Chain A
Amino acid sequence: MKRLLKNPLSLAGLVIVVILLLAALLAPVLAPFPDHALGGVNPVARFHPPDGTYWMGTDDLGRDIFSRVLYGARISVWTGVLAIGLALVLGVPLGAVAGTFGGAVDELIMRITDIFLSFPPLLLAIAIGAMLGPSLSNTMIAIALAWWPWYTRLIRGEATSVRERPFVEAARAAGVRPLVIVFRHILPNTIAPVIVQASMDFGSVVLTLASLSFLGLGAQVPTPEWGLMINTGRTYFVNAPWYVTYPGLAIFLTVLGFNLLGDGLREVLDPKGVKRSA
């Protein structure tokens, strides 16, 4: 932890992520106009530029963009956590099993991941989103389905090296059952790079979610989702540039924050990175 905080970039990442999490958590308290994020409209103040009352201005329905961006943080964090969580739940055990047992099981699982990996993740998410119908939860599922093969590959690679370590053989010689070996002995020793990867992916997932919503496949109006806000706001870009700017900035900062944090975590968790982070 100390090493993480020593690096100014990781520290910046951590600060951004903490602010994002706080914004998500405290949105109902912090937002000056919580009802603007929850479906209320305010026609008297349409396209109000940013000032003391409306910090980030208002949109075409007079809603406070600051309040909506705060609530948008909730959606992004929540969707990101669930999508990555689902991808991990799918991908990690499969990768551990493939890497540990090898042979036909490995071959089968890896070919399935190949199929998923042969599509660009965003395209795959679009296809799945289009198939399941546009909604936030379907987008989440789509993102998870596009992401799990990366974790499977990552864990499999680690597992193939860990399974050759003597303590795994020792466990087998002690009569430990194969699945117990996978989950007790292989998994805990392969998880570090996945933690790094997942924290880095969080930014990409937020971005993907915003992209899908922007394309109309994710969140639907009046959800205060950042990508969706940009999509609505781009029509008024010339007259109300703040409309797209602030949600865009939120996306940008979120992705940046998680990437910086992920880089920092990698240096801390990777023994070879010790010198670089000092």
Chain B
Amino acid sequence: MPEPLLSIEQLTVTFRTEHGPVQVVDIEQLTVGRNEVVGLVGESGCGKSSVALSILGLHPAHAARVGGRVVLEGRNLVGLSERELQKIRGSKVAMIFQDPATAFNPVFTVGEQLMRVIRTHKGGTQRQARARALELLELVGMPDPAGVSCRYPHQLSGGQRQRIMIAVALSCGPDLLIADEPTTALDVTIEAQILDLLKQLQRQFGMGVLLITHDLGVVARTCDRVAVMYAGRVVEEAPVADLFRRPAHPYSRGLLGSLPRRGQELRPIGGTVPDLRHLPPGCRFAPRCPLAVPTCTTHDPKLIDFGSGRSAACPVVHAEEVGVRD
């Protein structure tokens, strides 16, 4: 297996709170290859965005402690100095944010902001940066790039802003693109356009993409591989088609089962997400799990590799069940 572009190993993120430390992320292993879109799925508060921030080292040092390794092209990013991280942010790893309305500085035109990112990382003259900015706007499918670049963020629509944010992210040719809920703030038709654009650009530039979302529809449309997170842990990893066909982990099954279908009542997962301050002993999903056996509440399961790129952190499911032959 070739070395992945990004490899997250034993990553932990612990927030300092008034009630003492709270561990919000605890991931054994997660990789993103070159030219691959990996979806990170989970419900609100499961630690998805925290993973994204820890890759870029954006957690404020006084509020969070990051442990483990985040290896990008063979280099561990955890513990790098702020100065070195600045060189990586935006140039090697770029990020797209959830709400394009607030992710731009309201007092500058989008063209200025795009050019500034280009000049921060690539240097060059104002003229060169301008040419590159127009090129990028064209690339993300903006009609009239020159006109658009003179607009302020509030003069653009949500879809346009998100396209420009993608242009900003791509401006320095990143190897890894982190998209944190890139379409949550957009309506459904625009969502499809933006996802198609992301996918197309990802292929064109051979980037690795980590797509963070709570929306399984987005995952199905865009991702090659998917990791399901629950309460700070990755509980299942699988190629996207396999996950939808035969989810392994009971939580993934519950997620897929709770998707709205025509003519059927919604079947939510019973119970609630555990409080991260008072995690249950053993498996974190056990209290809500329909398949739980007594050992689930005492033994904390590790990811079990089923082969064929599938793994799940559940001792109850077997390889045969998920359709992988040993």
Contact = CB atoms under 8 A, between A and B. Distances in A.
Size category, B interface: 20 to 34
B120 interface: yes
Contacts of B95: 170, 173-174
A184 B89 contact: no
Interface centre among A171, A173, A185 (most CB of B within 10 A): A173
A168 to B, nearest CB: 8
A119 interface: no
A169 B53 CA distance: 10
Interface in A159-192: 165-167, 169-178, 180, 184-185, 188-189
A117 to B, nearest CB: 26
A166 B87 contact: no
A52 interface: no
B99 A166 contact: yes
A173 B102 contact: no
Contacts of A166: 97-99, 102-103
Size category, A interface: 20 to 34
Contacts of A176: 86, 90, 116-117, 120
B121 interface: yes
Interface stretch (B104-112, B194-202, B208-216): B104-112
Given A103-B62, A170-B97, A174-B89, A184 B116 contact: yes
Contacts of A174: 89-90, 94-95, 117, 120, 168
Nearest to A178: B82
A258 B87 CA distance: 47
A173 B179 CA distance: 12
A167 B89 contact: no
A172 B99 CA distance: 16
Interface of B: 56, 58, 62, 82, 85-91, 94-95, 97-99, 102-108, 116-117, 120-121, 165, 168
8 contacts: A169-B103, A173-B56, A173-B95, A175-B87, A175-B88, A178-B82, A184-B105, A188-B108
* Closest A-B pairs by Cβ, 6 of them: A175-B90, A175-B89, A174-B90, A173-B95, A166-B102, A170-B103
